[in-house]
Amino acid sequence: MRKIALLIFLFIFVSVSCKRSQKNIVNFDYNDFSNLTIKWSDFFNQPDEQYYVYFYSEQCGYCKMIKQDILGYISQSKSRIYLLSYQEGIPIKLDVERTVGAISIDQMWFGGTPSLVFIEKGVVGLNLLGAQSILMFLNST
């Protein structure tokens, strides 16, 4: 009888603990960071000396997969990370390493979504393509 009572107690305790921890999970949306949303034409026109631009698409499966990771990181990061949603006219090419050193919109493109670009003093220093690369980078910083 004691074993059954103990099992019931453990089951209830675990159930309550799981529900409590699920309530503490914050689900972010891009709209929560509307103050960080930029247009393609403003890519190089940000007031910060150093900043990142996260390039995503609402329809991108990989973007959906890391959405909470990137938005959670933005919510806690001291670094400025702007959001740029895919729109027609933004150039897409695979050789993103050639954009390192770019200083103007004419020299800039993305490999696709998701991408994360680092800009320092108006110069592209890093252009990462893909969910795995972005997550590894964020985990290393």
Query: pLDDT of 18-74, one tens digit each?
Result: 444 455 577 999 999 999 999 999 999 999 999 999 999 999 999 999 999 999 999
Q: Can you name the residues that pair with 52 across neighbouring β-strands?
A: 81, 118
Whole-prediction pTM: 0.81
pLDDT in tens, 54-67: 999 999 999 999 99
What is the C-alpha to C-alpha distance for residues 63 and 68, in angstroms, rounded to an integer?
9
Candidates 3.90.1520.10, 3.40.50.10860, 3.40.30.10, 3.30.1360.120; CATH matching 28-140: 3.40.30.10
DSSP 52: E
